[in-house]
Amino acid sequence: MSTNTESTADAQPEEDIDNLEIETDPEGTVEEDATDTTNEDVDGEANIDGEPAADLTDEQDTSGESIAEASDEADAEDETEEESVLTGPPERFQAAILGGELKNFVSTLRVIVDEAKLTVGSDGITSRAVDPANVAMYDLELSAAAFESYESGDGLLGVNLERFESVLKLAKKDDLVQVSFDTSTYKLLIVIDGVEFTMACIDPDSIRQEPEIPEMELPISLTVEGSQISRAVKAADMVSDHIGFRCVEADKTLFIEAEGDTDDVSLRLTADEYESLDAADGRALFSLDYIKNISKKLPKTDDVTLTFGDQFPMLVDYEIADGECSVAAMVAPRIET
């Protein structure tokens, strides 16, 4: 797992998915990013000569397309498509949904952000959010079919999720929650068992720009019960603040593992334990905090799919709301020196 520490031009900053970084801070120079990372070295060793801690480009080239290239394309699309589609609030939005489903949707986004832009339309609600450190991203699609009743024009709503989640505490799992948008006051009206909340929306332009997911070839894909991942994360948490996912193609085996100063932990998943595995040799290391937060929201008995490549980001895909809400989380890897 050695990396070329000499090249600087295409340096991939640690803790950043390059394309997200570029999108939200288009003026940021690569040199500055590389310098930042020298203090966040996984092994805690300062990289005093200012050289970047890692260079993913060579490896990315072998897997087809570099993240940087993908992000440039995404950027280009962003400027044309996104600005033309998403403009103002919807002309009408009126929906009713069970408290449990709505809570689950909101609390999943809350894992990484406090405010989010919800794109509403006739098919349902989608939202894409990236955490302030640009390490994790969520992409949620809540289908209109998840609602008891649903009627919506196309539009964008800026929502304070923290406040929304707090309001939803009043709803039990099976309580009907009615949500409608008042176009005159730009406020959401939420009705739970007779109690009416009026909640001001946020200007979507003031919310962190939604990132594009880059095209990446991630050769390793594991489908397994959510509880297996949660269990491994809980174990890793006892010895380290990082967690690694490693696939051994020859053995059709995936290891979830963590190394502490004196103690190690490892969960080996073989054919008996997982649903399916597209195997390839490779390992990716992640900050445990992000994986831990994501794992808290995983369904226990339903399938979850982890997709990753050697030192590449990992996608975590699953469904909630009886299959009517798809959740895709993406986490950037820690680069090992």
Count of residues near its own copies by CB under 8 A = 28
Among 111, 232, 284, 298, binds its own copies (CB under 8 A): 232
Structure-block tokens of residue 141 = 């699609």
Q: How many CB atoms lie within 10 A of CB 169?
A: 10
What length is written for the chain? Answer: 337
Up-side HSE of residue 302: CA atoms within 13 Å toward CB?
13
Among 267, 279, 280, 328, binds its own copies (CB under 8 A): 267
279 contacts its own copies (rule: CB under 8 A): no
Looking at the Cβ atoms of 145 and 200, the one nearer to its own copies is 200
Nearest to 304 by CA among 328, 270, 279, 269: 328
Q: Of residues 162-191, which lie at the interface with its own copies (CB under 8 A)?
A: 163, 166-167, 169-170
- Shortest gap between Cβ of 200 and its own copies (angstroms)? 4
Query: DSSP labels for 165-215?
Result: HHHHTTS-TTSEEEEEEETTTTEEEEEETTEEEEEE-B-GGGS-PPPPPPP
Looking at the Cβ atoms of 4 and 185, the one nearer to its own copies is 185
CA dist., res. 184 & res. 309, Å (int): 49
195 contacts its own copies (rule: CB under 8 A): yes
Among 83, 196, 203, 205, binds its own copies (CB under 8 A): 196
Looking at the Cβ atoms of 44 and 194, the one nearer to its own copies is 194
- Shortest gap between Cβ of 314 and its own copies (angstroms)? 20
Query: DSSP labels for 312-335?
Result: S-EEEEEEETTTTEEEEEEEPPBP
Looking at the Cβ atoms of 65 and 273, the one nearer to its own copies is 273
197 contacts its own copies (rule: CB under 8 A): yes
Q: Judged by CB under 8 A, which stretch of 84-92, 233-241, 301-309, 312-320 contacts its own copies?
A: 233-241
CA dist., res. 93 & res. 147, Å (int): 13
Among 11, 22, 146, 239, binds its own copies (CB under 8 A): 239
Among 86, 96, 144, 199, binds its own copies (CB under 8 A): 199
Among 42, 96, 213, 235, binds its own copies (CB under 8 A): 235
Query: DSSP labels for 86-152?
Result: --S--S-EEEEEEHHHHHHHHHHHHTT-SEEEEEEETTEEEEEEE-TTSSEEEEEEEEGGGSSEEEE
Residue 306, SS3 per DSSP: strand
241 contacts its own copies (rule: CB under 8 A): no
252 contacts its own copies (rule: CB under 8 A): no
Contacting residues toward its own copies, per CB under 8 A? 163, 166-167, 169-170, 192-200, 231-232, 234-235, 238-239, 262-268, 273
